[in-house]
């Protein structure tokens, strides 16, 4: 655990402009600095860095944060790793709070470092063995791999000897077992090597540490052809991607990533000039892997064999992507001819032809999704169209992070089902066609549903950019009853007031990282494109508008609270409601509340 005071000192000492310029060139534009966003593809600069706020924001894709957040996003680091990297550059030492949890975490970290050290040594051992194995060199040269590519991916060879690791690392038996490199068996007097007579593919995590291995047999008659390290404290297959560490910079530059199925696919593609490919580790593409990739690129391409197994793998990838997909991000699916995988295709043709095929022939997510949904359905029959709606429902309702895409998919499905969009939409529980009917009873003005979210978001955004204004904010008495957005606003005010010194926008973001306020603040910051003056200098007119907005927001909340009390009271007495008018009023109040 890193003390908050240190985070404040670090952000005070470093300059976000200097930090960002280590990775991308910036150009002065008024009070701020501009660049093309490194997190999505664009031709006109919309990425802004504010030296006064110590804050960056992209008006195109909405990414934002402090210098710490930028390093986390750009380098794919954890919060702790990003802080340590920035502290090192500022000649600062990161203190640690030694709570019982922190001590436990540090103990685990020390254990992980020991395993990483052992795996690094074994990797070097396998690399030496590769140079001494003529058949291994011949195999790799037969796959047209250059010395540069072999070195880039740290390829090696495990000797055909069950005791090679213990002979070379006799004092590391326990760690070799924990790292999955040795197998214990009650029928064997000593543990023995898991990998023997195989080409070794070290698997790195996003920090570059080796956490496991993939291994390919050199014996055509030996099964399995490929063997992975088992799950260990370091190696979780569903969370890691082969080649991501090596490809991360190219992925940023290309704004796309290609997901393939095998180690040799990644390596062969890199050999032929396509350096933004990664591979899953013997499992279907998981939601954890997709979340990582969506942080690196706007466009994710999946490439599968054209056979039945390839199509099944593609469908699993699509299903796992549903809850993680976001508007502004795109997924594509490419199916190669049945006789090819990416490795064989680039060797038979070229990297250039493969990339042309990838960019021109890949199927967009929405097209592929609908193609899967309508497969084997007779859309000429009402029963078939009903089947489509039934089949589509569990998929579409998972697109919570991509509401615009979900709406477009539903519009296309409604067209295929021959029903009106509103009627189709109602089947997903988002809108009832009955609500559009005219009502005979006029509701009181007080009963209009309060839309505090947009107001609160604007207030949060303005306060975040101008923390000193918190001193003049008037808070309500019943803070514990506030809604999520208002509670976040109050938390932000209280955080500012707890500090006597001036706080930067960047520090406030880091103060609330990991709290329930973080996603609400993130939503507010994504609306910054409609209030871009928030990044500029504040003035009295803007401050007056902020304070008036605060009063309106609290007044609206008070009216909403009173309305809720009225509805609750009416609902509790509903058994006494006898007239038609009263029943309609109760129903409408409950809908509006």
Strands (E), 240-329: 256-260, 277-279, 299-305
Q: How confident is the model at residue 463 (pLDDT cuts 50, 70, 90)?
A: confident
Q: 222 and 127, same structural domain?
A: yes
Average pLDDT for the chain: 83
Q: What is the CA radius of gyration of the chain?
A: 29
Q: 300 and 229, same structural domain?
A: no
* Whether pLDDT at 173 is above 70: yes
pLDDT of residue 495: 83
Q: 362 and 393, same structural domain?
A: no
Token code pair at residue 112 = 């992980």
pLDDT of residue 20: 95
Q: 472 and 579, same structural domain?
A: yes
Q: 420 and 309, same structural domain?
A: no
- pLDDT tens per residue across span 545-583: 888 888 888 777 777 666 555 555 555 554 444 455 544
Q: 469 and 350, same structural domain?
A: no
Q: Kindly state whether residue 102 falls inside one of the protein's structural domains.
A: no
Euclidean distance between CA atoms 199 and 195, whole angstroms = 9
Q: Kindly state whether residue 200 falls inside one of the protein's structural domains.
A: yes
CATH of the domain at 53: 3.90.580.10
pLDDT of residue 265: 96
Handedness of CA 89, 92, 93, 96 (dihedral sign): negative
**Residue (of 311, 309, 310, 237) closest to 279 by Cα position:** 237
- pLDDT tens per residue across span 204-254: 998 899 999 999 999 888 889 999 999 999 999 999 999 999 999 899 888
Q: 362 and 277, same structural domain?
A: yes
pLDDT of residue 569: 56
How many helices and strands (H and E) does the chain possess?
Answer: 25, 16
> Total structural domains in the chain?
5
Lowest pLDDT segment from 313-327, 426-440, 563-577: 426-440
Euclidean distance between CA atoms 137 and 150, whole angstroms = 10
- The percent of residues in the chain predicted with pLDDT above 90, rounded, is 47
Element (H, E) at 156: strand 156-158
pLDDT of residue 107: 61
Q: 578 and 462, same structural domain?
A: yes
Q: 366 and 326, same structural domain?
A: yes
CATH of the domain at 463: 1.10.860
- pLDDT tens per residue across span 502-541: 778 888 888 888 777 777 777 777 665 545 554 555 678 8
* Whether pLDDT at 450 is above 70: no
3-state secondary structure 5-64: HHHHHHHHHCCHHHHHHCCCCCEEECCEEEECCCCCCCCCCCEEEECCCCEEEECCCCCE
Q: How confident is the model at residue 460 (pLDDT cuts 50, 70, 90)?
A: confident
pLDDT of residue 123: 98
Euclidean distance between CA atoms 71 and 87, whole angstroms = 12
Q: How confident is the model at residue 497 (pLDDT cuts 50, 70, 90)?
A: confident
Q: Kindly state whether residue 593 falls inside one of the protein's structural domains.
A: no
pLDDT of residue 289: 93
Euclidean distance between CA atoms 332 and 318, whole angstroms = 10
pLDDT of residue 98: 56
Q: Kindly state whether residue 98 falls inside one of the protein's structural domains.
A: no
Q: Kindly state whether residue 99 falls inside one of the protein's structural domains.
A: no
Q: How confident is the model at residue 439 (pLDDT cuts 50, 70, 90)?
A: very low
Contact of 385 with 367, CB cutoff 8 Å: no
Encode 463-501: b = buried (16+ Cβ within 10 Å), e = exposed: bbbbbebbeebebeeeeeebeebbbbbbbbbebbeeeee
Give 367's DSSP letter: H
Q: 380 and 365, same structural domain?
A: no
Residue where a domain stops, chosen among 24, 54, 89: 89
* Dmax (CA) of the chain: 93
Token code pair at residue 419 = 């029903």
CATH of the domain at 290: 3.40.1360.10
pLDDT of residue 584: 54
pLDDT of residue 539: 77
Q: Kindly state whether residue 303 falls inside one of the protein's structural domains.
A: yes
Q: Kindly state whether residue 100 falls inside one of the protein's structural domains.
A: no
Write out the residue range of the structural domain in which residue 129 sits.
107-235
Residue where a domain stops, chosen among 370, 403, 423: 370
* Whether pLDDT at 116 is above 60: yes
Q: How confident is the model at residue 433 (pLDDT cuts 50, 70, 90)?
A: very low
pLDDT of residue 4: 82
Query: 335 — phi, psi (to 5°)?
Result: -115, 120
- pLDDT tens per residue across span 246-288: 999 899 888 899 999 999 999 999 999 999 999 998 778 988 8
Q: Kindly state whether residue 96 falls inside one of the protein's structural domains.
A: no
pLDDT of residue 523: 73
Q: 495 and 420, same structural domain?
A: no
CATH of the domain at 167: 3.90.980.10
Which stretches of 362-448 are DSSP H helices?
365-374, 382-396, 403-417, 421-426
Residue where a domain stops, chosen among 334, 349, 370: 370
3-state SS, residue 201: strand
Q: 584 and 456, same structural domain?
A: yes
- pLDDT tens per residue across span 99-111: 555 555 566 677 8
């Amino acid at each position: 655990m890193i003390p908050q005071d240190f985070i404040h000192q670090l952000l005070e000492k470093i300059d976000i402009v200097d930090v960002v310029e280590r990775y991308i060139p910036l150009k002065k534009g008024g009070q701020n600095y501009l660049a093309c966003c490194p997190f999505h593809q664009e031709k006109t600069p919309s990425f802004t860095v504010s030296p006064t706020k110590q804050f960056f924001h992209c008006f195109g894709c909405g990414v934002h944060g402090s210098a710490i957040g930028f390093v986390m996003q750009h380098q794919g680091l954890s919060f702790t790793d990003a802080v340590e990297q920035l502290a090192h550059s500022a000649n600062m030492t990161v203190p640690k709070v030694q709570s019982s949890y922190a001590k436990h975490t540090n103990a685990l970290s020390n254990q992980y470092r020991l395993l990483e050290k052992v795996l690094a040594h074994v990797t070097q051992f396998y690399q030496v063995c590769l140079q001494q194995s003529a058949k291994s060199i011949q195999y790799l040269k037969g796959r047209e791999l250059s010395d540069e590519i072999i070195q880039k991916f740290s390829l090696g060879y495990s000797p055909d000897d069950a005791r090679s690791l213990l002979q070379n690392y006799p004092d590391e038996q326990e760690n070799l077992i924990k790292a999955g490199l040795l197998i214990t068996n009650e029928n064997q007097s000593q543990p023995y090597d898991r990998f023997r007579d195989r080409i070794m593919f070290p698997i790195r995590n996003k920090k570059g540490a080796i956490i496991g291995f993939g291994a390919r047999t050199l014996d055509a008659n030996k099964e399995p052809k490929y063997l992975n390290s088992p799950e260990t404290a370091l190696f979780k297959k569903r969370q890691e991607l082969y080649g991501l560490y090596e490809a991360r910079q190219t992925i940023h530059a290309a704004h796309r990533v290609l997901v393939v199925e095998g180690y040799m696919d990644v390596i062969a593609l890199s050999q032929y000039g396509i350096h933004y490919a990664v591979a899953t580790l013997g499992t279907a593409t998981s939601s954890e892997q997709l979340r990582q990739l969506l942080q690196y690129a706007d466009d994710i391409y999946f490439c599968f064999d054209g056979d039945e197994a390839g199509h099944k793998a593609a469908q699993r990838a699509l299903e796992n992507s549903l809850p993680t997909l976001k508007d502004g991000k795109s997924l594509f699916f490419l199916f190669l001819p049945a006789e090819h995988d990416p490795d064989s295709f680039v060797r038979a043709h070229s990297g250039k032809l493969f990339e042309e095929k990838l960019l021109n022939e890949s199927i967009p997510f929405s097209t592929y999704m609908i193609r899967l949904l309508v497969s084997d359905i007779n859309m000429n029959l009402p029963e078939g169209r009903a089947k489509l709606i039934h089949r589509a429902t569990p998929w579409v309702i998972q697109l919570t992070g991509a509401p615009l895409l979900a709406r477009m998919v539903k519009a296309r499905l409604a067209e295929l089902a021959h029903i009106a969009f509103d009627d189709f939409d109602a089947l997903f529980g988002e809108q009832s066609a009955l609500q559009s009917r005219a009502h005979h009873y006029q509701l009181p003005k007080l009963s209009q549903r309060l839309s505090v979210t947009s107001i609160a978001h604007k207030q949060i955004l303005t306060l975040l950019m101008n923390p000193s204004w918190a001193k003049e904010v008037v808070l309500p008495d019943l803070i514990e009853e506030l809604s999520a957005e208002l509670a976040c606003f109050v938390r932000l005010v209280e955080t500012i007031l707890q500090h006597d010194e001036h706080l930067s926008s960047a520090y406030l973001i880091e103060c609330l990282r990991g709290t329930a306020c973080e996603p609400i603040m993130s939503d507010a910051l994504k609306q910054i494109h409609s209030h871009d003056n928030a990044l500029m200098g504040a003035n009295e007119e803007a401050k007056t508008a902020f304070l008036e907005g605060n009063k309106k927001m609290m007044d609206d909340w008070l009216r909403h609270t009173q309305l809720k009390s009225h509805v609750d009271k009416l609902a509790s007495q509903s058994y006494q409601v006898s007239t038609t008018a009263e029943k309609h009023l109760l129903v409408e109040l409950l809908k509006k509340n």
